[in-house]
Structure 1
């Protein structure tokens, strides 16, 4: 149990630019039955947190952050032993939207409290997983949990399926590529940068195209025929999802799970004219993790961590910052200006210490 009653946290002092993120001393959160206090060792930075900082998200609290890795500090009802290495991602109560950084204080802090149903121990049979630095394991919980759920639950991806991933060089997109390639899917991916083409081929992507509007027409022009996919993972968002519907074959599925193109709503969408018959459109938002229909235990996160540790997945973070006001602000500037080329991580304490 922590011997202090306060902790350091990065707080949204007002809705606005990255400079509104300020370091403050705040009360240490207190765990209650069914929750645990986590000493945070590192956490990932996510686009949702940028929108929360701007005041564009439906729910947010002053301490942002929707995922973390660390060690159990205290667990009142004994589900976890103090010192156990764990990962946690959002949602704090069944049957309602919410969670870390949304309705309860998040992970931009030295400690956080999360429901035990949203905590995954990073141990197998009592032994720690293969050595992996905190800065690497912090790149996994949110991206891989969402990617796995989108691919194998919402999209019901199977070996041999032709899969299109729009926005594949984002942190979520890259996780989806790794998982889909391992599952035997034939992956076509989009990116805004031709510089990423060779790197993506090394990931196992079969075909790479430049992201942009008019993709169905460009596919047809290049191949001389209409191109259709079994499955489409849409990470650009509302600006391109109508096009993605046109790229799915009959009985195909499209999963909308990202908003790299912004949060503006879909405008003037007429399903009668713009949606192919027999195509299934669904949505996934990670705020549902922890609800009965979406248990975090459903996701093989320990297997994913082991795959990264064994070198099967290249999940190294794009950039790592030390915990502090300057680092957090710079990370948010990277997001705002579109400079991030992968997962960004913040570490507290010893960056290279292994779990």
Structure 2
């Protein structure tokens, strides 16, 4: 049984939040005064300082998510801030810097588009950093997905070659910097030749323009095929991605930016002889606090880059942030910064 809760200064009784009462366009994102969420035993209340804006929240706003999402709902699958209230035996203290993400947040229960959020203690990641909140706010979901894909999904090692298909996405950019930190050679894709320099700036060794047919160009760079491929574009290009990978190499399916989540009339023989296929969805627990702390330090030291596209100030600019995410014209993470 949890001991009595530890709390910081008394939270107000109401807060400002973005609420989606019914699916719709950008006007469905309404700023409302709502009660500050009460914390259940085993949960943590966080005072939100910043949060990333993701495709998942655009999908929730449109009403295109699965049955897990109900309305009205405060969106937001990730956030960073400080502990406001926690169980005394949770190991978390008021005022401590923390990150949280996923686990139904912003979908089956209210998320981080608000001044306060409550989440299960198991998905809270403590950290210490002097980096600004707008930088830290870009990282949780992006780093968790990239790190989980490279480690749990691909078991990437130093000296190996990695293909990232969907390289200018936030996860793709993060994966490139992490893979370089691991010591891998990175080939990464973009649909637009003018974005090749953006990939190089994130540490990509070989930017490649993706016209839907990569195998020949990748094999020109790595004749035997790459050791690992991170698939972020989707099943529409997956057969071509298979052809880029060596025998006993691995493809990890993590995302479907082009919308193809399934292979029609799937047959295992679409996978070339000896090539391995896995997937990664993951959870907050796949990003250990130790690893997140190391990544923060690597950013502070200049060894790792946080691909931030734009910073928005206050809940009033959430509509602008979602509009920019929908446009897809600015690679990197869109982050909303809240006032103290």
| Deviation (angstroms), 1:226 | 6.0
Q: Which residue of 2 aligns with 1:69?
A: 80
Q: 2:240 is matched with which residue?
A: 243
Residue pairs, 1:68-107, within 5 angstroms = 68-79=79-90, 80-91=92-103, 99-107=104-112
Task: Rate the CA distance shift 1:237–1:4 in 2: closer, same or farther, 3 A.
Answer: same
Aligned-pair Cα RMSD in Å:
2.0
Report how many residues are paired: 328
Equivalent position SS for 2:87: coil
Unpaired runs of 5+ residues, structure 2, are: 1-8
Q: CA deviation at 1:316?
A: 4.8
Residue equivalent to 1:169? 168
Q: Does residue 300 in structure 1 map to residue 291 in structure 2?
A: yes
CA distance in 1, matches of 2:100, 2:284: 10
Deviates further, 3-12 or 166-175: 3-12
Residue matched to 2:125: 120
Map 1:302-317 to 2 at 5 A: 302-317=293-308
Provide the residue aligned with 1:256 in structure 2: 253
- Tell me the distance in 1 between the aligned counterparts of 2:242 and 2:109: 36
What SS does the corresponding residue of 2:200 show, helix, strand or coil?
Answer: helix
In the alignment, the residues of structure 2 paired with residue 87 and residue 267 of structure 1 have an alpha-carbon distance, to the nearest angstrom, of 38
C-alpha displacement at 1:40, in angstroms?
0.1
Give per-residue Cα distances to partners, 1:59-89, cap 9 Å, x unaligned. 2241111111100000033421111111111
Contact 1:34 1:77 in 2 (8 A): no
**Aligned with 1:230: secondary structure?**
strand
SS of structure 1 residue aligned to 2:288 = helix
TM-score by length of 1: 0.87
Q: Which runs of 5+ in 1 are unaligned?
A: 92-98, 124-128, 351-355
The answer as to 2:334 corresponding to 1:344 is: yes
1:1-355 equivalent positions in 2, closer than 5 A: 1-58=9-66, 59-61=68-70, 62-79=73-90, 80-91=92-103, 99-123=104-128, 129=129, 131-219=130-218, 223=220, 228-262=225-259, 265-272=262-269, 274-286=270-282, 288-290=283-285, 294=286, 296-297=287-288, 300-325=291-316, 327-349=317-339
Kept in 2: contact 1:32–1:76 (CA 8 A)? no
1:263 to partner: Cα distance: 5.0
TM-score by length of 2: 0.90
Deviates more, 1:24-33 or 1:138-147: 24-33
